[in-house]
Amino acid sequence: MTVRGAATGPGDAGEAADAVLTVDLVAVRVGDDALSLTNGTLGEPADDATRAAVEAGAARLTQARRQGRAQV
Nearest to 61 by CA among 69, 71, 72, 49: 69
Q: Is the dihedral of CA 57, 24, 46, 48 positive or negative?
A: positive
Please state the pTM of the whole predicted model.
0.71
Q: Over the range 17-49, which residues count as b (16 or more CB within 10 Å of their CB) and which as e?
A: eeeeebebebebeeeeeeeeeebeeeeebeeee
Tell me how far apart the alpha carbons of residues 47 and 22 are, in angstroms, rounded to a whole number. Answer: 12
In this prediction, residue 68 carries a pLDDT of 77
In this prediction, residue 40 carries a pLDDT of 92
Q: What is the pLDDT of residues 1-49, one digit of tens each?
A: 789 899 888 877 666 678 889 999 999 998 889 999 999 998 888 889 9
